[in-house]
Structures are given as structure tokens and as C-alpha cells.
A and B are shown apart, each in its own frame.
Chain A
Amino acid sequence: MIPRLRRTGLLALAATALLVVTACAPGSGGDDAKKEPASDVETDVAGAGDVTLTVWDQEVRSGQDKPLEELNAAFMDTYPNVTIKRVSRSFTDLQKQLRLAITGDDAPDVVQANNARADMGAFVKAGLLRSLEPYAGAYGWEDRFPDTVRSVVSYSEDGQTFGEGNLYGLPLTGELVGVWYNKAKLADLGIEPPQTLADFEAALDQAKQAGEIPIQFGNLDQWPGIHEWGFAQNQFVPRDEIRNLGFGQEGSSWTTDENTAAAEAITGWADKGYFTKGFNGLGYDPSWQAFVKGDGVFLVSGTWLLADLSAGLKDDLGFMLPPVGETGDLAVTGSTGLPFSITEASENPDVAAAYLDFITSEDAMAKISAAGGLPVVDLEAQQPSGTQAEVFDAWSTASSEDALVPYLDWATPDATDVVPTEVQQLLGGDRSVDDFLGALEDDYSSFTGG
């Protein structure tokens, strides 16, 4: 027995030694050849020689896939020396695989990264994304995109500050979390689309009396709760306060009277049965599908559902901004669709920048609109009809009134986990309002150090 033991021991020792010799700290792989500063911006794509651009995106839904497909083809037609290799994945898949892909030897040139601190923020911090500032000047992106849009794709160079600093991505579409409503049901109840919190709550009560589901809601997947909570918060908490909390900047607090009022309002809605019965056990997809089938008067969710909802409800589908509540100001959770960024590892950043410019051009915006989407800019140039027109109006109003506030899970690296689980427990009656706000405050203050 002894010799064999010794042999195994030796083997283990050798393996460990091998490991120590070959492995170094994870993430340090290879030589860190610093790319030459992108001070000399080259906008001439035709002269760049044969180039292959690898693009990772998540525009897989029919309304989003088509315009991008067309734009890629048009770009390659314009510049025959460029080949675009497109890799599409669903949103959740992309989020998981991007971390591995972006650090690999063969990183894509252009990636669609979520704006949140946990994603874009972490990539910027790790020096994996290229600042687009030099190109913004060359292509006039400051004029193309308003401040509100640029702020949600801007980070400081160290990734610490969100909402200002360098530009790290360009979005194609806009996104709002508003109120979808069933026009036929509202008409039956004799209610006008409510513009104020008081009217909205009266409408909920009336719908409940009439035996309808006032707000269709499915929260089994946890993340929809962020939008429901944000929607309540919009009506009680001043916009700048929400922005501070949402961008994870110092000087605000969750444990204020306004946030308490918002949390009490939303738990009140849950207690009065204004949400779908058993909402914490109902999936997001089954929930909006039920809304399409006529279960529910209102549905609080994002404009990304436009194509799916109108396909089912047709002319009965309406969209409006959140009612104006105690603050007296309109506030709406919204942002851009996922921005396209250029990786630090890209060997052809100039061509990639020209590509970003191309897919955010006026022509591109027209294509997105024609496919039924909400382009991020150039809305006045489009001719939408029906519910799409209502969504366009809402976006224009929100932009012109400076009413956009960020998603609450962007705030801190842990917010993506903390906010949805806490909201789910608050609405399920397993957390008091104080404990709920306390948990959010802990996460926020431990991040901002305040």
C-alpha cells in the first residue's frame, strides 16, 4: 500500500506544482498590449481594407430583428470591404455570455450591453469598453442624441459614476414603462384614461367593483416587480430624488416620507385586490397574454410589449404615461433600449464607430419605426398610427418634459438582486414598508458610502 500512496501523493504534488506554474491570477491572461489612443479618428471606411466586424446583439424579437438585419445589409452594400458577422442571443443569454466573450481572446467588436452598473459599469471599470468621446465629435453624436439619452450610456472612466462622464454606447430604441389599457373595458366602465393619481385609484376601485382585474400583474419572475414599484414611486417621489437613487449617486435616501407613501400606496393596491389574484405565483408572459385575452383593465409594463399586445388587442389597446401624483410632476421610468458599444479589444474601432453611426442614422430610425418599434430619436420624421402613435407621443412628452427616470435596479451592483426580491416580499405581505425601505437603504448606502 505504501508505495501506491506515495505515488498518488507525488501525482497530486506534481499537479499542484503544474497549476501554480501555469496559472496566474485569473483575468490577467496574456500581454496587456495597450491599444494606441484613438485620438486619430478615421471616418473613411472604404479605405480601411478588408474588415470583418463581429456584432453581438439581442434584437431577436421580430419587430427588432428586421430593421437591424436590413441595416447590416445596407452597411455592407455601402462598404463592400466590410463583412458583418452577426451573433444574436436572447437578452438573458446575452447578459450571461457577454462576460465570458468580452474577456476572451476573440472578443466581438461591437456588443450590446445593458446600461446597468452590473453590466456596462463593470465592463467600463475593467477597461473592456472603448470610450466613444473621440467619435462623438467626429460624427456629431452630441447633436443627434439629447442629454437625457447620453446620460444613461455615460460612465466616468473608472466606472464609478453613472450618468455622466464618457459616452460608452449608442442606443437605437427608446423604452418607457407606462400604462397599457384596454380601451373597450374603459369604455364599458365609462372611465376616461386617468391623468391623475386620484382618478387612477378611483378607476381601479370602479374596475374592482365591476368584477374586473384592475391591474394585470404577474410577478413570479421577480423582475416585473421593479417596474410596478417604480410606477408607484413615480407618482410620489420627486424626479431628482429617483434619479439619485437610480443612478446610485450620493445624497439621497430610501427612507423618506415620499418613498414611504409610495410603498404604502402599492401595498394598499395589493391589499385591496387591485392586482391579479396570486400575482406572485403568475409568470410575466402568461400575465400579459391574459391581458391580451381580456383579463385586466390596466397593465403596467414597458413599450417593448407594443408589437405583442397590438397583435392581440388591435384597436382596443391604449398606452398612456403614469398618472401625475402628489409631486405634481410627470415622472416615468424609461430609458433607451440596450446600447451598442465598441470593445477595447476590437481591432477596427474606426470601422465599428462608422457602423454605430450608420445604425443610428435618420434612415435607421425610419426603419425601426416602420417595423413597429420606438426609435430613440427622430420621432417627428415618422408617421406612426394607432397605438404606436400613442407610444410615440408618450415618449416625446416624457423627453420634452424631462420626465424620464432610470430603472431602480441600475443603482448598485447588488440592486438587480435586492430590489426585485424585496418588492416581491413587500407585495406578498411578507415585509413591512419599513423593513422594505430599510433593505433598499442598506444596499444604497453601503454602495454610496453615505
Chain B
Amino acid sequence: MQHSRGAPGQPRTVAYLYLAPALLVFGCFMAWPLLRAVWLSLFEWDGLSVGTWVGLGNYVDVLTDPQLRAPFVHSLVLVVFFSALPIVAGMVLAGLMSRARLRGSGFFRTVIFLPQVVAMVVVAIAWRDIYAPEGSINDALSAVGLDGLARAWLGEPSFALMAVGLVGTWVGTGLCMVLFLAGLAKVPRELYESATLDGAGPLRQFLAVGLPALRGELAVAMTLTLVAALRTFDLVYVMTDGGPGRSTRVPSYEVYRWSLEEGKVGYGVTIALLLTAAILLLTIGINRVAEGDRR
């Protein structure tokens, strides 16, 4: 056996054997489909007859289609609801829970995290009922005399996207809170004690001691929630079908619509690939920034 070829510390060839199962699974279910998708995006294909080679035509079309701009803008709006709001809310909740010794905090933690455990389709169906014209929100509004505010939340273009977004906030907050709680738990008690001795109040303590410790968790939370926001499909599909009109259509919904309903598979796949690339770049960017100081 000759292992001495490589420099000391270099991986040995046998390492690939250990990696083989994972590589095989990755290759079959990730890499190959991705390559196939790239291949499909070069064709104009209805999914039924033989496709026609169009080269980069689909990419040009997707990037210049004014109809596709709105869905991408919608997904940016969703980023606020899926990512920004849950991170802020999760941070506040974690800050409160880690410091205050309140009775039943375990219970509250579970309740806030619960939406994460429920399947998205179930969440969507439940919220569809809550937002219905005769649903619980409108009932609650009229119970306190605010009938004027009651409306068909999913039926009005100016409210539907926000209504869908708030469901994302509701789902995402629990995840962010649990992540931040875990992060805060690492902070040694002594740090807080010395901060108290220095005369820092609870808010000051959180900003000076807790927050800096959360850098890593923040990056994870941002990555997860951003990806969730940008690839949202199930909520929109179940709750509004992209409506009213086209006001809640998002890129993933367009992928589905073009490839499966309109019979323009190449076009739909191209949108999917560009969306994948955008998400990948964003996540890389976030991780660069988060790890920037550590190197």
C-alpha cells in the first residue's frame, strides 16, 4: 500500500470511498436534476412534443419580461414579513425569556415554536379560514366595534400580499426565538453580573452582552428565513392561487404556472434556475458578512 504520495495531512484516496454514498445521493438527487434543469432551460418545450433548441433565449425572455417583475417585487415584500419581522420579534422574545424568570415560560416557548412543526399546507388552510369574510379576524373586529375595518383580507389586492406575509411572520418567529435563546444560553452569567455592576440596565445589558453573542445565530436565522421567503409557494398556492388578480404571485408560483399549467417548461425552469442562483448568492453574501470578522 502506498499512502506516501501526498504530503502529510493530505486526504488519502480511500477518503473518497467513505464519501461515496453521500456523493452518490447528492449526485443522483441534486446535481443530476440541476444539470437536467439547465439543459431543459435551453429549450422551448411544451412537455409533450419534441422541444426546440433556443439557446439562451429563455434567459433573455425571463430577464426582459415586464410581467415577471411584479412577482419578484412581491417576494421582496415577503422578505420583510418572513425575515425582518420574525428576526426582530424573535430577538425581543428571546431577550425577555432568557432574562425574566417567568412562570410557564416553557409553555410559551412551545406555543410560539409550534407553527414550525405544523405542515405549511395545514397552516395555509387554517389561515385561509381565519382571513375569510366571515372568519375569526372579522368576527373579532366586529366584536370590539371595528366593523369598518373588517374586509375580505385575501380578496383585496392591497391586503392579500400582506395577509400572506403575516402568516410567514407567525411561522418564522418561533424559529428565530429558539435560535436566539440557544445563542443567549451560551453567554456566561458572569458577563451579565459585571454589566450589572457597571450599572447597565436590562436593555443595555442585552445590547452590550447578548446581541454580540448572537452573531452566528443571526446569520443562521437570516439564511433560513430569507430562503423561506424567496421560495414561498405553498402558502400562496393554497391561500390565494396568486390572486386577487395577480397581486400575490411570487417567483415560485410562476415556475409552477409556466411549467405545469401553461406548458412552457423551458421558460418555467429558467425562472427556477435564476431564482436558485439569486438565493445562493444571497446566502453566500450573508455568510460572508457574518463570518467576516472571525477570520
Q: Is A428 an interface residue (CB 8 A)?
A: yes
Find out whether the CB atom of B263 lies under 8 angstroms from the CB atom of A118: yes
Q: How far is the CA of A123 from the CA of B49 in the complex (A)?
A: 9
Q: Mark A67-101, 1 if CB is under 8 A from B, else 0.
A: 00000000000000000000000000000100110
Given A221-B241, A416-B261, A125:B49 Cβ within 8 A: yes
Beta-carbon nearest neighbor of B256 in chain A? A96
B47, B52, B155, B246: the one contacting A279 at CB < 8 Å is B155
Interface stretch, picked from A18-26, A192-200, A244-252, A397-405, is: A18-26
Contacts of B47 in A (CB 8 A): 27, 99-100, 103
Find out whether the CB atom of A279 lies under 8 angstroms from the CB atom of B40: no
Contacts of A281 in B (CB 8 A): 131-133, 151-156, 160, 244
Q: Is A165 an interface residue (CB 8 A)?
A: no
Contacts of B160 in A (CB 8 A): 281
Distance in Å: Cβ of B94 to nearest Cβ of chain A? 35
Beta-carbon nearest neighbor of A431 in chain B? B245
A19, A122, A417, A428: the one contacting B48 at CB < 8 Å is A122
Find out whether the CB atom of A278 lies under 8 angstroms from the CB atom of B51: no
Find out whether the CB atom of A25 lies under 8 angstroms from the CB atom of B51: yes
Find out whether the CB atom of B265 lies under 8 angstroms from the CB atom of A26: yes
Find out whether the CB atom of B48 lies under 8 angstroms from the CB atom of A280: no
Q: How far is the CA of A135 from the CA of B133 in the complex (A)?
A: 52
Given A220-B243, A280-B243, A23:B48 Cβ within 8 A: no
Q: How far is the CA of A234 from the CA of B104 in the complex (A)?
A: 62
Given A417-B261, A417-B262, A26:B40 Cβ within 8 A: yes
Find out whether the CB atom of A414 lies under 8 angstroms from the CB atom of B133: no
A125, A126, A277, A413: the one contacting B133 at CB < 8 Å is A277
Q: Is B187 an interface residue (CB 8 A)?
A: no
Contacts of A27 in B (CB 8 A): 45-51
Q: How far is the CA of A23 from the CA of B263 in the complex (A)?
A: 21
Given A26-B45, A421-B243, A428:B51 Cβ within 8 A: no
Q: Is A127 an interface residue (CB 8 A)?
A: yes
Question: Number of A interface residues, CB 8 Å?
Answer: 45
Q: How far is the CA of A287 from the CA of B241 in the complex (A)?
A: 17
Q: Is A240 an interface residue (CB 8 A)?
A: no
Q: Is B88 an interface residue (CB 8 A)?
A: no
Contacts of A301 in B (CB 8 A): none
Find out whether the CB atom of A430 lies under 8 angstroms from the CB atom of B245: yes
Q: How far is the CA of A122 from the CA of B45 in the complex (A)?
A: 12
Distance in Å: Cβ of A11 to nearest Cβ of chain B? 10
Among A14-70, those with CB < 8 Å from B are 15-16, 19, 23, 25-28
Q: Is B240 an interface residue (CB 8 A)?
A: yes
Contacts of A96 in B (CB 8 A): 260
Contacts of B26 in A (CB 8 A): none
Contacts of A123 in B (CB 8 A): 48
Q: Is B157 an interface residue (CB 8 A)?
A: yes
Contacts of A25 in B (CB 8 A): 43, 45, 50-53
Q: Mark B121-163, 1 if CB is under 8 A from A, else 0.
A: 0000000110111100000000000000001111111001000
Q: Is the interface of B mostly helix, strand, loop or mixed?
A: loop
Find out whether the CB atom of A222 lies under 8 angstroms from the CB atom of B48: no
Q: Mark B32-46, 1 if CB is under 8 A from A, else 0.
A: 000110011001011
Q: Is B257 an interface residue (CB 8 A)?
A: yes
Contacts of B155 in A (CB 8 A): 219-220, 278-282, 428
Contacts of A222 in B (CB 8 A): 241-243
Distance in Å: Cβ of A266 to nearest Cβ of chain B? 16
Contacts of B245 in A (CB 8 A): 421-422, 424-425, 428, 430-431
Among A189-234, those with CB < 8 Å from B are 219-222
Among B254-277, those with CB < 8 Å from A are 257, 260-263, 265
Q: How far is the CA of A102 from the CA of B156 in the complex (A)?
A: 39
Contacts of A122 in B (CB 8 A): 46, 48, 263
Contacts of B128 in A (CB 8 A): 220, 283
Q: Is A276 an interface residue (CB 8 A)?
A: yes
Among A271-308, those with CB < 8 Å from B are 276-283, 286, 290
Beta-carbon nearest neighbor of B49 in chain A? A126
Q: Is A128 an interface residue (CB 8 A)?
A: yes
Find out whether the CB atom of A220 lies under 8 angstroms from the CB atom of B39: no
Q: How far is the CA of A26 from the CA of B266 in the complex (A)?
A: 10
Q: How far is the CA of A23 from the CA of B46 in the complex (A)?
A: 17
Contacts of A277 in B (CB 8 A): 133, 152
Contacts of B151 in A (CB 8 A): 278, 281
B39, B49, B129, B132: the one contacting A23 at CB < 8 Å is B39
Distance in Å: Cβ of B170 to nearest Cβ of chain A? 19
Contacts of B241 in A (CB 8 A): 220-222
Given A27-B49, A118-B262, A290-B134; 14 other pairs, CB 8 A cutoff? A15-B31, A19-B35, A25-B43, A25-B51, A27-B47, A100-B47, A122-B263, A278-B133, A413-B262, A413-B263, A417-B262, A424-B243, A428-B155, A430-B244
- Please, could you name 10 A-B residue pairs with CB atoms under 8 Å apart, sorted by A? A25-B53, A26-B40, A26-B265, A27-B46, A103-B48, A118-B263, A123-B48, A278-B152, A278-B155, A282-B133
Nearest 6 pairs of A and B residues by beta carbon: A281-B152, A281-B155, A278-B152, A280-B155, A278-B133, A126-B48
